[in-house]
């Protein structure tokens, strides 16, 4: 299946492939073109004004490899440790569901739609990386907007790759003291991206500014 790469069409942080790094990490870097300003598509803004969120439906394939290895960079599709040991696929599905839903509840149009999510990667930090160097929360999924009544795809599928700075060491400890756990930061970041990408015709002036100005990575949404 051919996917449209979401780099210039939506306000989204397209990301770094590695989830562990000892150097500085940009939350708005793109794979091939660093320092490109995110863009919000006016056409998508107009279309989403007619939508009303019916549900976010997240699918996490049983074929995705899960790792519990306590290494700096476990080789796997899913690496997640903040929840107690258990069904990691279900845990990351809920993180995506809650975060994306939070960012789409502003859609109040007449047409109910599903946001169908197919996860291909959710690579967070191992315990070893979390207590030391930190890195990147790297999440890749495809998104399709589907008419809830007819099942017709209205938008997508679009491949979305998100890279959010993952704190390590003292920085991670201080963030947790403020209530900014890994889960909270990831869900807040996902919600922020959805609100910007699918703004339902609201705040057109902000959309116009987003087309020429980079995201504020120091805002509360990504701290």
**Residue 38: what pLDDT?**
35
What's the pLDDT score for residue 34? Answer: 32
Q: Is residue 23 part of a domain?
A: no
pLDDT, residue 207, reads 38
**Distance of CA 91 to CAs 59, 82, 121, 192, Å?**
12, 10, 13, 20
Q: Strands, DSSP E only, in 22-152?
A: 51-60, 78-79, 111-123, 135-147
Burial (0-12, 13-18, 19+ Cβ within 10 Å), 133: middle
**Residue 185, domain extent:** 42-197
The answer to whether residue 205 sits within a structural domain is no
Number of structural domains in the chain:
1
pLDDT of amino acid 33: 31
Amino acid 209: pLDDT: 39
How much is the pLDDT for 105? 94
| Per-residue pLDDT at 41 | 59
In a domain, 13, yes or no: no
- Cβ(149)–Cβ(112) below 8 Å: yes
Domain with 125 in it: what CATH number? 3.40.50
Question: Is 79 domain-assigned?
Answer: yes
Residue 7 is assigned to a structural domain of this protein: no
Orientation angle between helical segments 182-197 and 88-102, nearest 10 degrees: 40
Q: How confident is the model at residue 46, as a pLDDT?
A: 79
- The answer to whether residues 168 and 130 touch, using CB atoms and an 8 Å cutoff, is yes
Q: Considering the domain boundaries, does residue 25 fall inside one?
A: no
Whether the Cβ atoms of residue 189 and residue 165 lie closer than 8 Å to each other: no
Q: Is residue 218 part of a domain?
A: no
pLDDT along the chain (223 residues), means of 10: 36 34 33 33 79 97 97 96 97 98 94 98 96 94 96 93 92 92 96 88 44 39 38
Q: Would you state the pLDDT for residue 199?
A: 82
């Amino acid at each position: 299946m051919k996917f449209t790469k979401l780099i210039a069409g939506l306000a989204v942080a397209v990301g770094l492939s590695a989830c562990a790094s000892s150097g500085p990490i940009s939350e708005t870097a793109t794979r091939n073109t660093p320092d490109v300003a995110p863009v919000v598509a006016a056409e998508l803004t107009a279309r989403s004004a007619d939508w009303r969120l019916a549900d976010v439906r997240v699918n996490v394939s049983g074929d995705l490899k899960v790792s519990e290895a306590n290494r700096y960079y476990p080789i796997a599709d899913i690496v997640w440790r903040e929840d107690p040991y258990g069904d990691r696929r279900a845990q990351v599905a809920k993180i995506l569901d809650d975060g994306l839903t939070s960012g789409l509840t502003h859609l109040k149009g007449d047409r109910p739609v599903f946001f169908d999510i197919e996860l291909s990667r959710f690579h967070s930090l191992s315990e070893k990386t979390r207590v030391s160097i930190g890195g990147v929360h790297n999440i890749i999924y495809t998104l399709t907007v589907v008419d809830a009544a007819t099942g017709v795809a209205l938008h997508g599928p679009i491949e979305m790759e998100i890279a959010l700075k993952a704190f390590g060491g003292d920085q991670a400890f201080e963030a947790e003291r403020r209530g900014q756990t890994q889960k909270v930061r990831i869900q807040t970041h996902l919600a922020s991206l959805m609100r910007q990408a699918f703004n339902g015709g609201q705040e057109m002036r902000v959309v116009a500014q987003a087309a020429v100005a980079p995201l504020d990575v120091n805002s509360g949404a990504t701290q």
